[in-house]
A and B are shown apart, each in its own frame.
Chain A
Amino acid sequence: MTMEFSPENKKKLAEILSRYPTKQAALLPTLWLAQGEFGFISQETMEYVAGLLDISPAHVYGVVTFYTMFHRKPPGKYNLQVCRTLSCALRGSESLLDHLKKKLGIGENETTPDGKFSLCTVECLASCGTAPAMMVNQKYFENLDASKVDEILNGLK
């Protein structure tokens, strides 16, 4: 089956394209659309997007691997991204990460066997005043400690 955007995303893409003088400029927005619809950016997706924007697949690949937020493999249903940079580290992000590893039984950049949780670290989320912080998929959780994290995990079905 060949890959194709939903009619809704095709409309969105057209709107996006109207905002830029070049098609290439729409690359990041288009990859976001694709990740939203397909869950991750596969090689097939990269080739599809390259075709849509008249750019080379190699270029798309370079871009996808440059930015950290494009997943080249499907992450777990809940992607736990723990901030590891200084302000969070000063407020205990290292032990928070250890807690999560123990609790989920997985290491960094791993996914639980049921595909529910992925765990990774990320650099500064601009959540330093509410450290430590983590991002679950797109949502920020702040002022965390072990018990708060447990509560959050319990709430994720």
Chain B
Amino acid sequence: MVPSMSLILTNRVGQPESYTLQVFEKTGGYQSVKKLFSLQPNQVIDEVKNSGLRGRGGAGFSAGLKWSFVPQDTGKPVYLCVNADESEPGTFKDRLLLEDDPHQLIEGIIIACYAIRSHTAYIYIRGEFDLPCQRIRSAVAEAYAKGYLGKNIFKSGYDLDVTIHRGAGAYICGEETALLESLEGKKGQPRIKPPFPAVVGLFGSPTVINNVETLSALPFIINHGAAAYRRFGTEKSPGTKLFSVSGHVNKPGVLEKPLGYPLKDLIEKDCGGVLGGKRLKAVVPGGSSVPVLNAQDVETVKLDYESLMQHGSMLGSGGVIVLHEGVDMLWALRNLSRFYAHESCGQCTPCREGSGWVDKILVRFLREGGTSADIELLKDISNNMMGKTICVLADALAMPVLSYLKKFPEDFAAHFRGKTAQAQMHVL
């Protein structure tokens, strides 16, 4: 039985007191649990595998497959870590789910834990998220009070503890192994892989790290089955995805769309078009780390893993940043280089040194003008950073640099020395 609703994740968003247990249960919340406990954990994994649900944090790895890597014979506890460290610039969809539908997330946590045979889950939530943290805290408290969490949940014989763990200001903790380090009371410095967290994760135990949005999709999949989930989206990118739209659009916000939805429609139809009736210049489609698209790309690209890849970019976190014709792409790139230089954990040489270097070159370029040699240098530094480090933060800076240079060379040329008048164009 597939409900007539067109949405999977955001049905309760905007409803009064949607974050309370009462409203949640009135609107079909915790319905999947009964079915859940009638299934074997492996059946749950299979169902999720069949649904084609891919991790919504950015990497897009099959959720069910990730679960199946967890060994069950280590004699150690298995952990679930909920990645609620949403920090990718341009992304604010997990915040919405935490604020407006925290019980849906808890229901998803119950499903995931049961599937991987975990009795302990940690929700790692970014330190700045005060309201989302309050909401999830009270939701967890409500669930404990009702016997939905704790010992013998839903009288199923299954025990599950959920602990909320606040971050303290570090983008890198969204990287799953950095998140584990941070949870263990250390600096958030990504770990060498292998071993992968599924085998050696939190406190040395098998661990699954799932994004808030990924987990929030689980109640639907268990309630209605994998096939129902697959009715949304495309063959290779099934389901819906939350798109955080920001920047130069008339109506920014979070939108749930089936994967494969045209980016142009998202901007024009759903978000009221480009701000001030200006011409579209560029779109960052998947959070600040992914390669940028130009207006021509936007005409044809669809919002799914494959189409974005074909256009040289990535779905990433679904953070869609729209830039209109008034934006100087050098200025925009420098804004991001400052971010990555600030957020580099400092562990790997190419990232630690390269991110700051790129940022300094771009600052000089903006202030004093640059040369074509600087352009070549920026490309070379980016290539030297990309794929050379423990995690992909270096790539997350290198990819924007290379793509901005490639797609908007005129914006950089405008800052060549001797052209300082134009360099003032800046933004807006």
Contact = CB atoms under 8 A, between A and B. Distances in A.
Interface in A113-129: 122-129
A89 interface: yes
B86 interface: yes
A53 B168 CA distance: 18
B286 to A, nearest CB: 13
A25 B338 CA distance: 30
A146 to B, nearest CB: 15
A87 interface: yes
Contact of A25 (B169, B203, B254): B203
A123 B95 contact: no
Given A140-B130, A140-B131, A128 B321 contact: yes
Given A68-B168, A126-B87, A89 B427 contact: yes
Q: Tell me which of B128, B163, B253 has the highest count of chain A C-beta atoms within 10 A of its own C-beta.
A: B128
A124 to B, nearest CB: 4
A51 B284 CA distance: 46
Nearest to A87: B246
Contacts of B247: 86-87, 90-91, 128, 131
A87 B187 contact: no
Contacts of B129: 126
A19 interface: yes
Interface size class of A (residues with CB under 8 A): 35 or more
Contacts of A124: 87-91, 171, 288, 339
A53 B185 contact: yes
Contacts of A125: 128
A85 interface: yes
Interface in A1-55: 19-22, 24-29, 31-32, 53, 55
A141 to B, nearest CB: 12
A135 interface: yes
B113 to A, nearest CB: 16
Interface string B168-211: 11110000000000111111100000000000000100000000
A131 B288 CA distance: 16
A66 B182 CA distance: 10
B350 interface: no
A123 B343 contact: yes
Given A90-B248, A139-B130, A28 B167 contact: yes
A31 B165 CA distance: 12
A20 B163 CA distance: 9
Contacts of B130: 138-140
A90 B327 contact: yes
Contact of A128 (B91, B166, B171, B336): B91
B82 interface: no
A104 interface: no
A86 B203 contact: no
A129 B246 contact: yes
A85 B166 CA distance: 22
A5 to B, nearest CB: 17
A94 B252 CA distance: 19
Contacts of A127: 92, 95
Contact of B184 (A19, A25, A123): A25
B321 A90 contact: yes
A152 interface: no
Interface size class of B (residues with CB under 8 A): 35 or more
B2 interface: no
Contacts of B151: none
A68 B127 CA distance: 10
Contact of A126 (B91, B161, B338): B91
Contacts of A68: 168-170
A123 B428 CA distance: 21
Nearest to A126: B92
B170 A29 contact: no
A23 B427 CA distance: 49
Contacts of B170: 66-68
A119 to B, nearest CB: 17
B319 interface: yes
Contacts of A94: 427
B347 to A, nearest CB: 11
Interface string B387-428: 000000000000000000000000000000000000000011
A109 B421 CA distance: 31
Contact of A129 (B89, B187, B254, B327): B254
B79 to A, nearest CB: 10
Contact of B128 (A27, A28, A87, A126): A126
B244 interface: yes
Interface string A54-80: 010001001100111110000000000
Contacts of A91: 246-247
A66 B181 CA distance: 12
B168 A21 contact: no
A138 B127 CA distance: 9
B323 interface: yes
Interface string B312-338: 000000010101000100001001101
Nearest 5 interchain pairs by C-beta: A68-B169, A27-B185, A128-B246, A67-B168, A69-B169
13 contacts: A29-B165, A32-B127, A62-B187, A63-B187, A66-B188, A67-B127, A69-B128, A86-B321, A90-B247, A94-B427, A126-B94, A128-B90, A128-B252
Given A123-B342, A124-B88, 7 more contacts: A66-B188, A67-B170, A86-B332, A122-B128, A126-B128, A128-B91, A140-B131
